[in-house]
Amino acid sequence: MEAGSIVAVRNLVKRFGDLAAVDGVSLRIEKGEVFGLIGPNGAGKTTILRIMATLLLPTSGYVNILGYDAVKEAGKIRPFISYLAEDAGTYRNLSGREYLSIVARIYFDSDTEASKAVEEAIRISGLGDRVDDRMKTYSKGMKRRLQIARALMTKPRLAILDEPTAGLDVFHAKHIREVVSRHVKEGGTVVLSSHNMLEVEYLCTRVAFIHRGHVIFEGAPEEIKNELGASNLEEAFIEVTSR
């Protein structure tokens, strides 16, 4: 693994029957980056993220996370990463605080550390007093904010976020972008997927365009736009996929 790299992916392939959801992807993610995966539904973004999160085995290829082989040493990776699924659910009859407390006790042996993590999560979520209400009363956006808080409250070295602002209004999406930026400033690294091109352009240091299981373009947002003569990433993506 190259010095400074948090994630190294080489010739990654994942097949589901005859379908190659990921077909020869290679990526490198450096410490302190917000790295974005951009592509339409079915492009392979979620599959890549799930393999990085050690939740899905690749068909072939190599994935190294924090210096460990993601297949052979998954158990050594998991304490240092967090994963937010696009469709992450909640427990209807638990309050937000109860849910966060259960998660914190899994990660921390110390009651003091667990309590600090819960308070950090409440701050990240912005739920205020509603954190003590049952989650069945939460809106879709409130549930999403709680899940993002759960993913970041442990201060993971690598946060893997699949559509982190899905279902959030403009105000709360901005809040989450600020939370992600703060996490990186405090020493973390983030890889995320998003359909919101403006969000990716604002937040990400580098992006990879994913199309039909392949990386078709990669670079810093400004570099990509300049090279393709595009005014934004949406135009750039359309340009490279229509060639």
Residue type, 172: H
> Which residues have CB under 8 Å from 109's CB, separation 6+?
none
pLDDT tens sequence for the chain (243 residues): 555 689 999 999 999 999 999 999 999 999 999 999 998 888 899 999 999 999 999 999 999 999 999 999 999 999 999 999 987 777 889 999 999 999 999 989 899 999 999 999 999 999 999 999 999 999 888 998 999 999 999 999 999 999 998 878 888 888 889 999 999 999 999 999 988 888 898 899 999 999 999 999 999 999 999 999 999 999 998 888 887
- Looking at residue 139, what DSSP letter applies? -
What three-state secondary structure class fits 7? Answer: strand
pLDDT at 181: 93
How many other C-beta atoms are found inside a 10 Å radius of the C-beta of residue 26?
Answer: 14
pLDDT at 34: 97
5-241: which CATH number, 1.10.1660.10, 3.40.640.10, 3.40.50.300, 3.30.300.30?
Answer: 3.40.50.300
